[in-house]
Amino acid sequence: MQPLVVVEGVNKHYGELHVLKDITTTVGKGEVVVVIGPSGSGKSTLCRAINRLETIDSGRITIDGKELPAEGAGLARLRADVGMVFQSFNLFSHKTVLQNVTLGQMKVRKRSKAEAEKRGMELLDRVGVANQAGKMPAQLSGGQQQRVAIARALAMDPKVMLFDEPTSALDPEMINEVLDVMAGLAEDGMTMVVVTHEMGFARRAADRVLFMADGQIVEEATPEAFFSAPTSSRAKDFLSKVL
Ligand code: ADP
Ligand code: MG
pLDDT per residue as tens digits for the range 92-102: 999 999 999 99
- How would you label 203-214 residue by residue, b for 16+ Cβ within 10 Å and e otherwise? eebbbbbbbbbe
**Which is the closest atom of ligand 1 to the Cα of 42?**
6
Mutate to test the pocket of ligand 1, among 17, 54, 86, 218 (most ligand atoms within 8 A of CB): 17
Q: Using a 6 Å CB cutoff, which residues line ligand 1?
A: 14, 17, 19, 37, 39-45
Question: Which ligand is located closest to the Cα atom of residue 86?
Answer: 2
The three-state secondary structure class of 199 is: helix
ipTM confidence: 0.98
Mutate to test the pocket of ligand 1, among 10, 23, 44 (most ligand atoms within 8 A of CB): 44
Cβ(99)–Cβ(117) under 8 Å?
Answer: no
pLDDT, one tens digit for every residue, the chain (243 residues): 899 999 999 999 999 999 999 999 999 999 999 999 999 999 999 999 998 899 999 999 999 999 888 777 788 878 889 999 999 988 999 999 999 999 999 999 999 999 999 999 999 999 999 999 999 999 999 999 999 999 999 999 999 999 999 999 999 999 999 999 999 999 999 999 999 999 999 999 999 999 999 999 999 999 999 999 999 999 999 999 987
Ligand 2 mean position to 77 CA, how many Å?
Answer: 25
Length of the chain: 243
**Which is the closest atom of ligand 1 to the Cα of 46?**
6
Q: Determine the pLDDT at residue 46.
A: 97
**Which is the closest atom of ligand 1 to the Cα of 215?**
10
Q: Tens digit of pLDDT for each residue in 176-219? A: 999 999 999 999 999 999 999 999 999 999 999 999 999 999 99
* Cβ-based neighbours of 20, under 8 Å, separated by 6 or more: 10, 11, 12, 42, 45, 46, 49, 56, 215
- End-to-end Cα separation, the chain, in angstroms: 31
Ligand 2 mean position to 111 CA, how many Å?
Answer: 33
| DSSP output for 76-137 | HHHHTTEEEE-SS----TTS-HHHHHHHHHHHTS---HHHHHHHHHHHHHHTT-GGGTTS-G
Question: Which ligand is located closest to the Cα atom of residue 35?
Answer: 1
Q: Determine the pLDDT at residue 202.
A: 97
How many CA within 13 A on the CB side of residue 243? 16
Q: Which residues pair with 213 in a beta bridge?
A: 216
Ligand 2 mean position to 40 CA, how many Å?
Answer: 7
In what helix (H) or strand (E) does residue 163 lie, and over which residues does it extend?
A: strand 160-164
Question: What's the CA gap between 157 and 119, in Å, rounded?
Answer: 10
Question: Which ligand is located closest to the Cα atom of residue 48?
Answer: 1
Question: Which ligand is located closest to the Cα atom of residue 216?
Answer: 1
Q: Which residues pair with 210 in a beta bridge?
A: 35, 220
Ligand 2 mean position to 48 CA, how many Å?
Answer: 10
Ligand 2 mean position to 39 CA, how many Å?
Answer: 7
Ligand 1 mean position to 217 CA, how many Å?
Answer: 15
